[in-house]
Amino acid sequence: MPQQFQQTQHEEQQSGGEDQVLASGAAQQQEDFDVLDSVLDDIESTLETSAEDYVSSFVQKGGE
């Protein structure tokens, strides 16, 4: 019986560790999403204010 109890405790500890890893991964994923969303917002605001200037910077002039 004591061996079975020790095994159960060990399994619970492993399960708790997995939960922490999953929570940590989810937090990192949310942080990455927030950073990406911020970059996309910056791009969107730039295009809203000066889309014509942005596009014209890519247009070749005089066959260049």
For the cut 80, the answer to whether the pLDDT of residue 60 exceeds it is no
CA 30 from chain centre, in angstroms, equals 5
47's CB contacts (< 8 A; 6+ apart) are 54
- What is the per-residue pLDDT across 6-54, written as a single tens digit (0 to 9) for each? 655 556 555 556 777 777 888 888 899 999 999 999 989 888 888 888 7
Q: pTM score, two decimals? A: 0.45
pLDDT of res. 11: 60
User: Would you state the pLDDT for residue 52?
Assistant: 83
Q: What are the boundaries of each domain within the chain?
A: 26-53
Q: What does the pLDDT read at residue 63?
A: 59
So what's the pLDDT on residue 50?
81
Instruction: Give every CB contact of residue 46 below 8 A, 6+ residues apart in sequence.
Output: 54
